[in-house]
Structure 1
């Protein structure tokens, strides 16, 4: 038998597989109708485990056993997604506990930012809310979240990612710890300056203060000098410290605006290595709201610590034609080598495709949370 004949046999088998697949999907539609009528959940984990074990037992060698297991995992995953779509068409998806609003503008709203006068967070706040915003500042990111929790602030502005240094881990952890939601974002260009008290010379400097990420972003410049580097919680804190102590052996890496606020001299600018260095700030609140024109959704979830779990979660974006723009992971406290995943994707909570994907993710993931739509 030649290759052509063998390929014809494969084509014949493939045609049968396609026909049987479509027949199976037709039956799944009826299953969905029964579940809609009875209120049963689409995802039955134990039933699927039993099904996979049964079809694997029908094979005759280990290679086929593994292959059939993977194949039926995919078939059942596609069946679930079909059922979720039918649930959406029948209006059985349920409502998400978020309210769409036209804007976040509210003259009574109060905004908190981390740092001191002259911080990049303050600049991001002014760009988003305007110069006349009613605001105050706190020392730490946690303090900002607590200010919302206790009611002294309605919104907080927090840095979540830098284009050079990457994510701010603490912010991701605080998003999980506190019941806050992302309602906006603001990206600002970062241009770090080396600041000193007036009259300071480069050769006088012995110590440089700044935020850890700013030190990282300026690593090439700092490598040219034998200076002690000390981290502070905020760049503006560093500028304020240098100004208050008036010591020519000390310098700060911060913004030019921070230098003006504290009367410091710009010794060199920029000192960060990337000309396109930018930081993304998020605006959070404890209200479950989203702007009606929001275009990005952020979620987090945990999954079973087993092969294929993450793939099955991400497939919900594929089947609903949603563009996933970012994924990050953070360790789960108390569970060594297990991780919580954070995902950003394009969409609005009012979109049917987004609702469909979130329904599937909620049913199949562990502790899935919507972090915001903005």
Structure 2
């Protein structure tokens, strides 16, 4: 065993040397980018996706494919942070599922900026105070997040990516507390409801205490020697708690979809989704006029939802998700037809489509 551990130590040292060599090369690329475009961004999302996909496909095993993506995501995040840390705004506080979505997409080396409202995230991206923003758009069990949809009206930001995050609750314990000694469980009302059967089976005598967020629940549990919290595992590290039980939600398969906000359009990836707003007046046939150009071009419509524009009475904005990129001929033709018949059409963005929530 000692010999095997010695070989592992030698490999670790080689990996460390290669990581530092990669960081130096990344810094050289950053210098060249600044010489060509002094005010341009250093982050290249399309290149990042290409590298991750190539490495996942090239992995012969036994190292797990999802771990390949996670490891190299962190490597690229750390290399970029040496030159220019990405500023990513999200709905705070730290330790929430939105924060977890940020770390999954951008790595732990990104500068996560917790903000108080969804509108503040849009403003930070639009005004250049953040490079990207991450906002929730829909949950598989709870439906759409209307404040996110409403925030697009009148703003000039683009959707540049999406994140599909499985909602997996963990029971986080005070460091010196055993499960049988838990007297209070803190969490957001929604999380408490989603774990009700588990709590009844494992902590039938514990009092449940509602908190404004799962992150705040973790903070409260840290201050309560007999307290626990239901939250994301990320909160355990941030609030110095330990994970007492994993995946305690009563139903599996729940996930939340997030949009990544940016300012620059995204080139086609070959597997894209386009989200747009179409504004129509409330009159007979309005919805048919909206759908006909999409159907004529043979495009798949994966989502449609209406919201009042709040500009004038009975005027509605329809949010639509189409399969394809806005530069694809069929999508471009459908958009041209829509602009000829509707009051207003705005493409919110074309971005790589994520189908499954990784675990």
Give the TM-score category using the shorter length: 0.5 to 0.7
**1: CA distance, partners of 2:304 / 2:200:** 32
Q: Which has the larger Rg?
A: 1
Match of 2:246 among 263, 269, 273: 269
Q: Residues 332 and 221 from structure 1, CA distance in 2 versus in 1: closer, same or farther, beyond 3 angstroms?
A: farther
Q: Residues 238 and 150 from structure 1, CA distance in 2 versus in 1: closer, same or farther, beyond 3 angstroms?
A: farther
**1: CA distance, partners of 2:234 / 2:45:** 33
Q: How does 1:250-261 map to 2 (within 5 A)?
A: 250-261=227-238
Match of 1:193 among 170, 183, 186: 170
Q: Residues 209 and 312 from structure 1, CA distance in 2 versus in 1: closer, same or farther, beyond 3 angstroms?
A: same
Displacement of 1:192 after TM fit? Answer: 0.5
Q: Could you report, residue by residue, the CA deviation over 1:123-147 in whole angstroms, capped at 9, with x for unpaired residues?
A: 3223323343343333332332222
Q: Residues 168 and 102 from structure 1, CA distance in 2 versus in 1: closer, same or farther, beyond 3 angstroms?
A: closer
Structure 1 position 103 matched with structure 2 position 81: no
1:230 matched residue in structure 2: 210
TM-score by length of 2: 0.65
Q: Residues 325 and 154 from structure 1, CA distance in 2 versus in 1: closer, same or farther, beyond 3 angstroms?
A: same
Q: How does 1:77-226 map to 2 (within 5 A)?
A: 103=46, 108=84, 109-198=86-175, 199=177, 204-206=182-184, 208-210=186-188, 213-215=190-192, 217-218=194-195, 221=198
**2: CA distance, partners of 1:213 / 1:148:** 29
Unmatched runs of 5 consecutive residues or more in structure 2:
1-43, 49-79, 352-359
1:291 matched residue in structure 2: 267
Q: Residues 204 and 135 from structure 1, CA distance in 2 versus in 1: closer, same or farther, beyond 3 angstroms?
A: closer
Displacement of 1:364 after TM fit? Answer: 1.9
Q: Could you report, residue by residue, the CA deviation over 1:204-263 in whole angstroms, capped at 9, with x for unpaired residues?
A: 5456322x653454455568868555352x4223312332x3253x54321122123312
Aligned length: 269
| More displaced stretch, 163-172 vs 139-148 | 139-148
Q: Could you report, residue by residue, the CA deviation over 1:157-207 in whole angstroms, capped at 9, with x for unpaired residues?
A: 122122222222211111225321100112122211233424265675456
Structure 1 position 308 matched with structure 2 position 285: yes
Q: Residues 216 and 315 from structure 1, CA distance in 2 versus in 1: closer, same or farther, beyond 3 angstroms?
A: farther
Secondary structure, in 3 states, of the residue corresponding to 2:247? coil
Secondary structure, in 3 states, of the residue corresponding to 1:273? coil
Q: Could you report, residue by residue, the CA deviation over 1:282-312 in whole angstroms, capped at 9, with x for unpaired residues?
A: 1101x24122226100011221212221122
Secondary structure, in 3 states, of the residue corresponding to 1:173? helix
Q: Residues 219 and 177 from structure 1, CA distance in 2 versus in 1: closer, same or farther, beyond 3 angstroms?
A: farther
Displacement of 1:324 after TM fit? Answer: 0.6
Q: How does 1:29-44 map to 2 (within 5 A)?
A: none
Q: Residues 135 and 366 from structure 1, CA distance in 2 versus in 1: closer, same or farther, beyond 3 angstroms?
A: same
| More displaced stretch, 306-315 vs 191-200 | 191-200
**2: CA distance, partners of 1:367 / 1:104:** 34
Question: Do the aligned residues in 2 keep the contact of 1:183 with 1:291 (CA within 8 Å)?
Answer: no
Secondary structure, in 3 states, of the residue corresponding to 2:250? coil
Q: Residues 110 and 188 from structure 1, CA distance in 2 versus in 1: closer, same or farther, beyond 3 angstroms?
A: same
**2: CA distance, partners of 1:332 / 1:222:** 42
**1: CA distance, partners of 2:341 / 2:302:** 21
TM-score by length of 1: 0.63
Unmatched runs of 5 consecutive residues or more in structure 1:
1-100
Structure 1 position 241 matched with structure 2 position 220: yes
1:4 matched residue in structure 2: none
Calculate the aligned-residue CA RMSD, in Å.
3.0
1:92 matched residue in structure 2: none
